[in-house]
Amino acid sequence: MMDLFELIERLVSVHGPSGDEGEIRETISALAAPYADEVSTDTLGNLIVHKRGPGPKVMFAAHMDSIGLIITHVEPEGFLRVGRLGGVSPREAVYTPVRFRNGVRGTLVPEEKADFGKLKLDECYVDIGARDREEARRLVQVGDTAVYDSPCFVSGGTVVSPYLDNRVSCAVLLAALERLREPENDLYFVFTAQEEVGLRGGKTAAWAVAPDCGIAVDVTDVDDTPGSSRSGTVQLGKGAAVTVMNSSVICHPAVVAALEETARTQGISAQRDILRSGGTDAGAIHTAGAGVPTGGISVPCRYIHTPVETASLADVEACVRLTAAFGQKKLLF
């Protein structure tokens, strides 16, 4: 498999907003297949990659969908009105190039008289250069989805890109899967659908897999930028973030302890992650069935849900190592 940055760059370039994950699912499936015993897709569109082992069932879940836009109306002049798929902030997204699944490109623009301080998505439109409604409809249709079309690049030791949330964690699972040879546990690497619109894929996947332990792999907000609001506890460059709590889950103490003990014994840099707002697939996994002991491994990330999300490549590598080591570790709970 390619190196970590190349893998991230490949994944963030693929179309896959919530509900339209077909292309990213196919891409991940092709990358995972050489290292898996079984690859399947469920009704909701989750990709389930099984690597057999003799021990308990451990489910690692990283959502493959991204936030995005969906066309709702085409104006007579050829401009597109759009709705949001997940947590799109118009103030963070305006003047950003966007790309539709068929390759048509445009720019999200605010109306001239809109109040930027109170900007709503209804006051924005996508300009694809169409001269009128008829030309626009030859290029795109109501219901088509668009994603940010910003570059992915390395700056120092960081990667800057749209959709590190959560393609960077998909890269973590793929890299960990490649490194595992004969795991002690029965491993399920699940690339979930529709997380950004309500943890939907994680819910159905957890019920289907019925794991003995669940680990949500995602990004998490940081507390290392000027004027930080202290909404998170982690920093870039300090290693993998072991989830203690976020707004969707209070992680099982035994799982938190096992992850921290694994990091300690393997010499993996790690830090505790408490997030005041925002959730992960752990929120869906831990209440599945009669309940699942659940934890989380997260990549610290700046500027989440913007076109310039930023993460440390060293932290990504720490998350790969922790995921692989935990998958190999024989669970005692």
Residue 331 has pLDDT above 90, yes or no: no
Number of independent structural domains in the chain: 2
Total length of the chain: 333
Which residues are CB-contacts of 150 (< 8 A; sequence separation ≥ 6)?
A: 96, 97, 161, 162, 307, 308
* Distances from the Cα of 260 to the Cα of 49, 90, 210, 239, 270, angstroms: 25, 38, 24, 12, 7
In-domain check, residue 155: no
Instruction: Give the CATH number, domain containing residue 243.
Output: 3.40.630.10
Kindly write down the DSSP assignment for every residue of 254-314, as one continuous string: HHHHHHHHHHHHHT--EEEEE-SS---THHHHTTSTT---EEEEEEE-BSTTSTTEEEEHH
167 shares its domain with 143: no
Q: Are 16 and 65 in contact (CB under 8 A)?
A: yes
3-state SS assignment for residue 18: coil
Domain boundary among 102, 125, 148: 148
Neighbours of 311 (CB within 10 A): 27
Query: Structural domain of residue 73, as residue ranges?
Result: 68-148
Same domain, 59 and 202: yes
Alpha-carbon span 270 to 159, nearest angstrom: 19
How many CB atoms lie under 10 A from the CB of residue 315? 29
One domain for residues 48 and 106: no
Give the DSSP letter string of 21-83. -HHHHHHHHHHHGGG-SEEEE-TT--EEEEE--SS-EEEEEEE--B-EEEEEEE-TTS-EEEE
8 A C-beta contact, residue 326 and residue 317: no
Report the DSSP beta bridge partners of residue 300.
220
Residue 181, pLDDT score: 87
Same domain? For 119 and 267 the reply is: no
Q: Are residues 144 and 172 in the same domain?
A: no
Structure tokens that stand for 93 in this block? 């997204």
Q: Tell whether the model's pLDDT for residue 333 goes beyond 80.
A: no
* 238, 252: one domain: yes
pLDDT band at 289 (very low <50, low <70, confident <90, very high): very high
Torsion of CA 315, 318, 322, 325, to 10 degrees: 160
Specify whether 180 is located in the same domain as 262: yes
Q: Specify the range with the lowest mean pLDDT, choosing from 82-91, 222-231, 252-261, 303-312.
A: 222-231
pLDDT of residue 111: 96
pLDDT of residue 277: 86
Is the distance from CB of 308 to CB of 150 less than 8 angstroms?
yes
Residue 75 shares a structural domain with residue 60: no
Catalytic residues: 195
Residue 229: predicted pLDDT:
77
Half-sphere exposure of 132 (CA within 13 A, CB side): 1
- Count of C-beta atoms within a 10 Å radius of residue 5: 16
